[in-house]
Structure 1
């Protein structure tokens, strides 16, 4: 009898601990130990988890998430103390006693668990506002590979066993999102300074300010599926114009309009392709006129003529703009009148343009508040005059923004949305978004193109390409760019690049006269050929091709070769960009995206796929220099006495072809490739159909009337050739065409399907030259042996047997 009473009391105790729950349209709400928990499905594969103290009240509106919850079929049940909410793609379980959330795939296998008792709300006074420091931890598998978290210059591919202090900086762009090789992603939706920690105790996010814990869990069958979820949540990536995939030349800085236009003229005289020229800072004059968005420097006397001259040379100009203003600018006065300027030290700190800065003559430059919609209007009001000049793109520098001589009280600055601390990391999202939305509102004839130094979740929807900041040139830095760009792309933001050659040359005393630097620059440019943007830029020495010699010189010839290779790949690149826009794909692809099944590929930090066909293995160490004693000094000298090699891993599950020779390799092993200065290892996956475009001086010089189509046999394959008007937003109205190429490897049959769609100026007839690649039948980057078959294609289905 006594035993029965004890059991009865235990059952009563357990049942009273278990909390009641409420069914909602999106999932469920429950309160456990004074913590309110909401499970809200946005769609079958994405769920939002919100936790807060049950006695708190707040309004939580995301800056990153623009999707709204869909009405979907959910099944909610309770068994013992476990609440289960099931969609067609996943299962979420909440322990009604502990409050722990667990995520399962539709097969019922657990994917991720919260760590027990890890939800934390510590009271925090945020510049007079009572809120919390919030934290949540998770339990990952011991050997689970995760990626993303933005861009870090650490050289790590897998983001485990580390601590990241996530505050946007010059060379570190943080996005609190990670993607697991298990096929899920987690987005921590908070904009305040955040610490990400992964160690033996767990994996956690801790944000300095938050009214609640707010995160999204999403599941996909692979990395592409997870990134698609993230884009569906935070915004699709629009198309860039075709010219932005050509070659850009820049430096810090062109000091007159004659110098700027002269660079374009020189490229045209040398017949080296070029599409973009970039004007860096101080075209506005003194630092007291910082970012006036006007050509007030006397060396730029006729800005309209400058822009017209560049356009007449069939090139495009991008201009530097900042997120701060000097005290003598019109913007400063107008923004100050609405209290939309913040007070902390930023760049430049001196009003003088002399170097080093004269700090006793402070510039008075202040950062503006992009969280204020009126401030964003003011920003565009003045920038619109530059738009009216015909400027083609915006280089939004210091979009973190620069924050010098940091003091904790700086974070108490008031923004339109609360303290600067509360919204710090979303600064780039808001300032870039302000320019994009304003330009889209007034002009559909020219696609928005923004080059920016920082980013946050959702920024892909704003026509922006992020670069890796003012990095210092070294071989280690070059190597670290690979993993930095790949992890950045794995947050769902597909467009990234770096300063080819590195911004600062501090490590090279002789600058361009240093043979090791010339080798580094060439290798960096080879890597840049296979980034979403190919842009040469830096301080301390000019980087134009003619600074590296003349035709016949090793460095010059290698640079020209890869610029030309970039242009020959434009049909492939532009089609890949359509795949990004239409299908949420990624252009620069970590190996986990296509080879998650191959554990040997998951942590490789110096290889990647460019599009879904081309494996790129950049050379990231010096090969052709040797030290030479010169008295007390030791310098480097060129040494091309022997050809060096690089080892590349070819993932299992595919057959591979050497791009340069056509030699075939089985996957799942390492191969060696000779790497003279003008060769980096490139391998094409079997089943690929690779279009090679015409040789041009600029991207739109020739229509793609005759394309060489290389077929790499050994697997079935498909390629979709995308074409439109190359600029404007008519593609959003369906004004574009696609042509699908399907290769049946067993039958050796190529089917070119009916063309779908149309647009003004579309080619009605064209030539396709088909080559079945094999050993010694791949040729160079520009041409190869005569085609196996050439056909005239008029838009109707064609079947070719080989």
Structure 2
């Protein structure tokens, strides 16, 4: 509700025929929870059944059964809400915290259309269909709802509660690119049902949170507008010839979206944050390196690793403790009730305060993993249960853990109370909130199963989980953020496996989940990361090197993996948050010093570049907070007129000056990519049903029959307990065997490679012939056999497998004729040269050589192992700092200020105490740098503001780069806060 208009409620008249003692509806058309209230009669008096009513902040229309509000929330931001006259929300929006704004507008009835026109936005409503079109103040069209069917709304009952199933459709321009929706489920990409593309045109997306998918229901357009759908259920987005459509399973308020426009995409991001909340600043050390693994087993080990980083001189700011620091179970055994109870194992972590103190003495911070599932035997569980604030279904990871109700304010307060007492008060600096999708069952990669798992929780404090399927992550991070802000002046930094609209206001950065190491996965992180940050959620990261490393036997001992890790690390140096994490293998960067010196040198150069860039990065983080900036940027955000950048998936801007083009293919250790899992569409059981028929046995040699199964595809990975369900009929993940039978149908004619990949023993039969046999214990390996097949030909399959101990996997795979042809093509293009498209609208400089390159063309350079292609936009000011072991080590060190000629430039240096929220009270300092390219003058402005501990005097080494090289030696300036001008 618009509370500024509450005084007008009493003035509303109610029709005499509906006498009631109920309070009259609000003039704004919104109730006390901010949801649509119908103010118009159900019978229409105007031609065609169209009626409307002007509201103080917009208009309400009725067309047939549909009531539609169009409400101004800003000069170019409007909310559009449509339903069938009833609103079934019981609570305010979880996402939008803004209220309608008193925007002056004209309402004009044009006969066939109704027009709302403010100074900056015009909305035309078609009286025949009710569809809306949106134009700027000069009449230029942004977009329009589909004229034929702007929305579809159907009343439904879900979980014994009334709701709507809805969709709404926009007609996009032919050359319009659209971005956003977050990091889309990687599993669906692997299955071939989605594509890892930045531009969402002609894509179909399932919008459900998973382990490897962070959904944010925001679409951003190159036409300088965005759409935020304020709906929380399972959703689907589809763009095709009929338009761009969002469907929602349960939308109790009907169609509800916010149209946000501006002169550029940064304006749209600003409008989004006006609606959903600003992004507070992180501590400066959050922009250093994070070292994480699954897991450090004892407090002695985590401190040892931290000390080794310092002894080896490899920069590090955060070290991370993953799960099971609370104790209670061993791998492969039954987990007890201590799960994520905010307690410490007295045997392995006996002195948490001493541990955190030792880490702090190294000038590092400690981040720690917590989960929404809480062990039954903990004081936290007891207090939650006393108020009925845990859900009944057991969390799959433990037979004694259940998920707490983060939709309850009391639940969030209790949860945080134990977080504070058990962790923060012991010296923990940051929270890593894992499984926040929310994860219930073990199939947390499969969106269909995730939907069923979350719905199985029943009702939360706000309603049924069908309507509240996706935003658990927002609620739980909101609770810990509010708790920390209420009890400390220390800046909050939270890592969460899932994200939702509004997450930025809770200081939550998301990551892409438990991804698998491969070059394809690395490529997906680039487009996937930008698809998160462009929605207005500025901070994102991923597991450098991949969480699982199944395709590189030997892990860090495998030179092919070390090359991948190096390139991933280089990309991570330009993520908003730089974080190494994974399981099974060692990946602390210092181990490569002896193992592979060229790799170590490349890693060291990348991390040192990250730390040298801190004056640039930290100053831009201030712009994120103060001016709604975005650090990791789609190229179209900065080059809107160059349509060639619309579909570039593997390059991005890091701030206004740097174009980053990570290397995403092997150059030194070329190996064939893994054969693809054979899709279920080409498999049939012996009775001609989709999939393969399977039979499990206890014992390695088919001794005791267990459960039967039909597998849609044969692709099983059973990590060690507690990370997997047992196969049907088995009670152990060790020492079992299995057989599968069926047939394969060839989709095209040509030569195929059909193979098996597995750990321990496996055999493959084709048409009854044993073609592959590797019946021995051992790590994962692959064998393939070539066969020529005709399109539609059926091949009888038989697979046998036994599993001993250690890793557990088996996969039926192939290379089709098309795959084999593409592999041959790639083999012919091996080299160390990388070609980058440099957008038009600016000239560019190679960061390493200083070579100047004209924009609007491709440029090729060598990219040996220690080089990530990096280009600086002409007309840039790039401040860099010293080499450091941690981000706050040398607060008064000299800065290098490099000016790249070719256009006027501005940059604002920012400083504060790096740690507290005192900046919100004005305790910070800024220095404006301005380059006049025509006059060749750099102006260093007077320092604005101050704070305790501020560096009063700093040496600045100023360089000008033009024509491909520094024009002269660095000019040294001792800056004391007074303005300085330098002529070149």
Fold in common (TM above 0.5): yes
> Which residue among 409, 421, 424 is the counterpart of 1:373?
409
Q: Per-residue displacement from partner, 1:579-623 (whole Å, max 9, x unpaired)?
A: 111110100001010011001111100000111111100000000
Counterpart of 1:794 in structure 2 is 976
Q: Given that residues 769 and 787 in structure 1 are in contact (C-alpha distance below 8 angstroms), is that contact kept between their aligned partners in structure 2? A: no
766-775 or 668-677, which moves further after superposition? Answer: 766-775
Secondary structure in structure 1 of the residue aligned to 2:327? coil
Q: Go from structure 1 to structure 2 and tell me whether the alpha carbon gap of 1:193 and 1:55 turns closer, same or farther (over 3 Å shift).
A: closer
Counterpart of 1:52 in structure 2 is 83
> Which residue among 477, 486, 494 is the counterpart of 1:441?
486
Q: How far off its partner does 1:725 sit?
A: 0.4
Whole-Å separation in 1 of the counterparts to 2:495 and 2:372:
13
Secondary structure in structure 2 of the residue aligned to 1:418? coil
Whole-Å separation in 1 of the counterparts to 2:868 and 2:244:
38
Counterpart of 2:437 in structure 1 is 400
Q: How far off its partner does 1:676 sit?
A: 0.7
Counterpart of 2:462 in structure 1 is 417
Secondary structure in structure 1 of the residue aligned to 2:270? helix
Q: How far off its partner does 1:551 sit?
A: 9.1
Q: Given that residues 643 and 676 in structure 1 are in contact (C-alpha distance below 8 angstroms), is that contact kept between their aligned partners in structure 2? A: no
Counterpart of 2:754 in structure 1 is none
Matched, 1:751 2:939: yes
> Which residue among 888, 903, 924 is the counterpart of 1:700?
888
Q: Given that residues 88 and 163 in structure 2 are in contact (C-alpha distance below 8 angstroms), is that contact kept between their aligned partners in structure 1? A: no
Q: How far off its partner does 1:403 sit?
A: 3.1
Q: Per-residue displacement from partner, 1:307-355 (whole Å, max 9, x unpaired)?
A: 000001111100101111111122222222222222345341xx4xxxx
Whole-Å separation in 2 of the counterparts to 1:243 and 1:567:
10
Whole-Å separation in 2 of the counterparts to 1:51 and 1:711:
52
Counterpart of 1:557 in structure 2 is 601
1:500-539 alignment runs, 5 A limit: 500-539=544-583
Counterpart of 2:212 in structure 1 is 171
Matched, 1:127 2:315: no
Matched, 1:303 2:355: no
Whole-Å separation in 1 of the counterparts to 2:259 and 2:945:
37
Task: Report how many aligned residue pairs link the two structures.
Answer: 763
Whole-Å separation in 1 of the counterparts to 2:893 and 2:935:
28
764-773 or 314-323, which moves further after superposition? Answer: 764-773
Counterpart of 2:428 in structure 1 is 391
Q: Per-residue displacement from partner, 1:538-593 (whole Å, max 9, x unpaired)?
A: 00102101222339811111111111111111000000101111110100001010
Q: Given that residues 545 and 556 in structure 1 are in contact (C-alpha distance below 8 angstroms), is that contact kept between their aligned partners in structure 2? A: yes
> Which residue among 199, 220, 233 is the counterpart of 1:192?
233
Whole-Å separation in 1 of the counterparts to 2:911 and 2:452:
51
Whole-Å separation in 1 of the counterparts to 2:130 and 2:143:
15
Report the RMSD for the aligned CA atoms in angstroms.
2.1
Whole-Å separation in 2 of the counterparts to 1:410 and 1:178:
25
Q: Given that residues 899 and 959 in structure 2 are in contact (C-alpha distance below 8 angstroms), is that contact kept between their aligned partners in structure 1? A: yes
Counterpart of 1:138 in structure 2 is 170
Counterpart of 1:74 in structure 2 is 105
Whole-Å separation in 2 of the counterparts to 1:302 and 1:786:
56
Whole-Å separation in 1 of the counterparts to 2:61 and 2:322:
54
Q: Go from structure 1 to structure 2 and tell me whether the alpha carbon gap of 1:251 and 1:297 turns closer, same or farther (over 3 Å shift).
A: farther
Q: Per-residue displacement from partner, 1:380-427 (whole Å, max 9, x unpaired)?
A: 110011111121100001111113264748516110110011111111
705-714 or 550-559, which moves further after superposition? Answer: 550-559
Q: How far off its partner does 1:16 sit?
A: 2.0
> Which residue among 116, 125, 141 is the counterpart of 1:85?
116
Secondary structure in structure 1 of the residue aligned to 2:468? helix
Q: Per-residue displacement from partner, 1:436-457 (whole Å, max 9, x unpaired)?
A: 011001101x100101111100
Whole-Å separation in 1 of the counterparts to 2:453 and 2:884:
55
Whole-Å separation in 2 of the counterparts to 1:454 and 1:382:
22
Q: Given that residues 643 and 675 in structure 1 are in contact (C-alpha distance below 8 angstroms), is that contact kept between their aligned partners in structure 2? A: no
Secondary structure in structure 2 of the residue aligned to 1:415? coil
Q: How far off its partner does 1:704 sit?
A: 3.7
TM-score, reference length from structure 2 = 0.76
1:573-588 alignment runs, 5 A limit: 573-588=617-632
Counterpart of 2:262 in structure 1 is 220
Whole-Å separation in 1 of the counterparts to 2:650 and 2:290:
24
Counterpart of 1:342 in structure 2 is 391
Unmatched 5+ stretches in structure 2: 1-43, 187-194, 329-334, 444-448, 673-773, 775-780, 784-826
Q: Go from structure 1 to structure 2 and tell me whether the alpha carbon gap of 1:251 and 1:662 turns closer, same or farther (over 3 Å shift).
A: same
Q: Go from structure 1 to structure 2 and tell me whether the alpha carbon gap of 1:461 and 1:267 turns closer, same or farther (over 3 Å shift).
A: same
Q: How far off its partner does 1:273 sit?
A: 1.0
Secondary structure in structure 1 of the residue aligned to 2:70? strand
Whole-Å separation in 2 of the counterparts to 1:764 and 1:457:
40
1:452-471 alignment runs, 5 A limit: 452-471=496-515
Counterpart of 1:4 in structure 2 is none
Q: Per-residue displacement from partner, 1:686-727 (whole Å, max 9, x unpaired)?
A: 111111101111111111441111110111101110000011
Counterpart of 1:34 in structure 2 is 65
Q: Per-residue displacement from partner, 1:92-140 (whole Å, max 9, x unpaired)?
A: 1112232111111111122212122342222222211122111111111
> Which residue among 226, 242, 247 is the counterpart of 2:284?
242
Counterpart of 1:96 in structure 2 is 127
Greater Rg by CA: 2
1:653-672 alignment runs, 5 A limit: 653-672=841-860
Q: Per-residue displacement from partner, 1:124-179 (whole Å, max 9, x unpaired)?
A: 22211122111111111223100001112442010111221111111111111101
Q: How far off its partner does 1:634 sit?
A: 9.1
Tell which has more relative contact order, 1 or 2 (C-alpha 8 A, sep 6+): 1
Q: Per-residue displacement from partner, 1:744-768 (whole Å, max 9, x unpaired)?
A: 0111100001111111111221111
Q: Given that residues 214 and 499 in structure 2 are in contact (C-alpha distance below 8 angstroms), is that contact kept between their aligned partners in structure 1? A: yes
Whole-Å separation in 2 of the counterparts to 1:760 and 1:39:
48
Secondary structure in structure 2 of the residue aligned to 1:269? helix
Q: Given that residues 326 and 364 in structure 1 are in contact (C-alpha distance below 8 angstroms), is that contact kept between their aligned partners in structure 2? A: yes
Whole-Å separation in 1 of the counterparts to 2:279 and 2:667:
39
Q: Given that residues 497 and 510 in structure 2 are in contact (C-alpha distance below 8 angstroms), is that contact kept between their aligned partners in structure 1? A: yes
Q: Given that residues 344 and 410 in structure 1 are in contact (C-alpha distance below 8 angstroms), is that contact kept between their aligned partners in structure 2? A: no
Whole-Å separation in 2 of the counterparts to 1:55 and 1:540:
54
